[in-house]
Amino acid sequence: MPQPKSTQVNKPFLADFLWGAATAAQQVEGGLDNDWSAWETSVSKELASGAKARLKGVVPDWDAIKEEAEDTNNYVSRKSADHYNRYEEDFDLLKSIGCNSYRFSIEWSRIEPKRGEYDSKALDHYEAMVDALIERSIKPMITLHHFTNPTWLEEYGGWHGENIVDIFTNFSEVVARRLANKVDYWCTINEPGSYLLQRYLGGGAWPEWPKIEMNPVRGYSYIKNVVKTHKESRRVIKNTNPGAKVGIAHGLIDFQLGRLDPVSWLFKKQLEFIPDKYILNRVKHDMDFIGVNYYMRMLVKASFSHPANWALKNTGQDILNDMGWGIYPDGIYNVTQKLNRYNLPLIVTENGIPDALDTKRAKFISDHIEALFRSHKDGADIRGYFYWSLLDNYEWSEGFWPKFGLASVDRRTMERTLKPSAQEYSKLIKEYS
């Protein structure tokens, strides 16, 4: 008989544990002029007309999302959640939940609208955000690259070109010189594995992506550039703030064998190799923590009759979220235990659920924090948990219909409303602190 929750927590996480929520500029700010905003309108019709074929039978309740998913406006970010103008209100929401940290990304296209020209007003804006967080005793965690790029980047070779290391390091240095004295936590790059898949290996996580291609040679160049760029960006951050803690926010999936056969085994090893082993093995001495973005497990089952189904988000064994991903809290225990071999602190930089009715989110958060706590007791050095996301937001090329937020956003009025699950998160923060 499981013990009542209150006696299960026999000691809190580390005293200065980061309890936060996360966002990304493209997904919440609004009013952007980057490679996504320049592209998303061009695919909105195709994504809307293709929604039924893409999602019916995959998501648990097609009828519930049909109206939004078949609306072309759903796929164009425009004002998004207007976080650019409403961040103070949003930080008050964070404070009311009891969060002591907030992860957000700096939009590169605002800072460097033209190659080599840096906008001091854009830096002023992000410094004002940092000051507003500090005023509320909320620690900022800045992500320097969360998928989006200035429109000029491709002319300079993009992320697969040889110029990116200098170009991105220059950008990182400009931001660090302005903010690193006030910001101790940094993610250089968000989910390089997802960017590799979506930009260079033909996609698979989202239905569309700017300049998507199947080009493994460029993909390999990209991954090598990620390693160099991370090291250089961490160096320039530490030049300003030697005590800064700098990591990469890694998208990590708990890959499990769906069938014991050599082909499935080999495919699972390959899926785990790039984001997990290739990058981490090359940057482990240049990291202060490993960021863990965990959402799901996937069952790996080689199937020559269904080549697209070698890795299944819907394992057939788990309750599904609104996007048809299996909910599997033990996976966060598994992925954090596996990372123990790097002997680095771990911060869960993202963990969340698309749950429009807010009927699954409270249990999702509670079960994942409980699994994290077990991992902490079993030796993983876990330093923080950022729920994805603070606000319902623009879920890349699925648009606005997935609702990940602790707060809903009225798309017309931009009014925020905390969901009941936010109170559960608030209670858990108290219980585990």
- By CB under 6 A, is residue 188 in contact with ligand GCO? no
- Residue 173 vs 208, nearer CB to ligand GCO: 208
Residue choice 107, 191, 370, 381 for contact with ligand GCO (CB under 6 A)? 191
Local structure of 330: helix, strand or coil: helix
Secondary structure (DSSP) of 145-188: ESS---TTGGGGTGGGSTTHHHHHHHHHHHHHHHHTTT--EEEE
> Which stretch in 92-100, 188-196, 272-280, 405-413 sits in contact with ligand GCO by CB under 6 A?
188-196
- Residue 27 vs 256, nearer CB to ligand GCO: 27
In the region spanning residues 19 to 58, those forming contacts with ligand GCO, defined by CB under 6 A, are: 24, 27
What's the DSSP call for residue 59? B
- By CB under 6 A, is residue 335 in contact with ligand GCO? no
- By CB under 6 A, is residue 322 in contact with ligand GCO? no
Find out whether 139 and 101 touch, Cβ atoms under 8 Å. yes
Find out whether 372 and 348 touch, Cβ atoms under 8 Å. yes
- Amino acid found at 204: G
- By CB under 6 A, is residue 190 in contact with ligand GCO? yes
- By CB under 6 A, is residue 207 in contact with ligand GCO? no
Please report, for residues 76, 160, 200, 290, the alpha-carbon distance to residue 41 in angstroms, rounded to integers and kept in the order given: 6, 25, 21, 35
What's the DSSP call for residue 257? E
Please report, for residues 84, 258, 289, 403, the alpha-carbon distance to residue 23 in angstroms, rounded to integers and kept in the order given: 12, 33, 19, 13
Both tokens of residue 327?
């909910």
- Quote the CA–CA distance of 24 and 291 in Å, as a whole number: 15
- Residue 238 vs 425, nearer CB to ligand GCO: 425
- By CB under 6 A, is residue 82 in contact with ligand GCO? no
- By CB under 6 A, is residue 187 in contact with ligand GCO? no
State in angstroms the smallest separation of the CB of 372 from ligand GCO.
17
Backbone angles phi, psi at 205, to 5 degrees: -90, -40
Both tokens of residue 44?
């909105």
Plot region of 260 (φ>0 → left; ψ -120 to 50 → alpha; else → beta): beta
- Residue 381 vs 395, nearer CB to ligand GCO: 395
- Quote the CA–CA distance of 365 and 20 in Å, as a whole number: 12
State in angstroms the smallest separation of the CB of 328 from ligand GCO.
15
- By CB under 6 A, is residue 286 in contact with ligand GCO? no
State in angstroms the smallest separation of the CB of 7 from ligand GCO.
34
- Label the pairing between strands 18-22 and 139-145: unpaired
- Residue 164 vs 348, nearer CB to ligand GCO: 348
- Residue 322 vs 424, nearer CB to ligand GCO: 322
State in angstroms the smallest separation of the CB of 194 from ligand GCO.
5
- Residue 229 vs 264, nearer CB to ligand GCO: 229
- By CB under 6 A, is residue 236 in contact with ligand GCO? no
- Quote the CA–CA distance of 193 and 43 in Å, as a whole number: 23
Residue choice 251, 258, 275, 331 for contact with ligand GCO (CB under 6 A)? 251
- Residue 68 vs 191, nearer CB to ligand GCO: 191
- By CB under 6 A, is residue 194 in contact with ligand GCO? yes
In 205-261, which ranges are continuous DSSP H helix?
216-240
- By CB under 6 A, is residue 272 in contact with ligand GCO? no
In the region spanning residues 146 to 175, those forming contacts with ligand GCO, defined by CB under 6 A, are: none
Find out whether 31 and 79 touch, Cβ atoms under 8 Å. yes
- By CB under 6 A, is residue 293 in contact with ligand GCO? yes
Count the site residues for ligand GCO by CB under 6 A.
10
- 388 forms beta bridges with 22
- Residue 391 vs 428, nearer CB to ligand GCO: 391
The residue sitting closest to ligand GCO, measured at its beta carbon, is 191
Local structure of 75: helix, strand or coil: helix
Residue choice 112, 350, 355, 370 for contact with ligand GCO (CB under 6 A)? 350
In the region spanning residues 382 to 401, those forming contacts with ligand GCO, defined by CB under 6 A, are: 388, 395
> Which stretch in 169-177, 186-194, 237-245, 363-371 sits in contact with ligand GCO by CB under 6 A?
186-194
- Residue 27 vs 188, nearer CB to ligand GCO: 27
- Quote the CA–CA distance of 126 and 158 in Å, as a whole number: 25
Find out whether 252 and 293 touch, Cβ atoms under 8 Å. yes
Nearest to 250 by CA among 287, 203, 299: 287
Residue ranges in contact with ligand GCO by CB under 6 A: 24, 27, 190-191, 194, 251, 293, 350, 388, 395
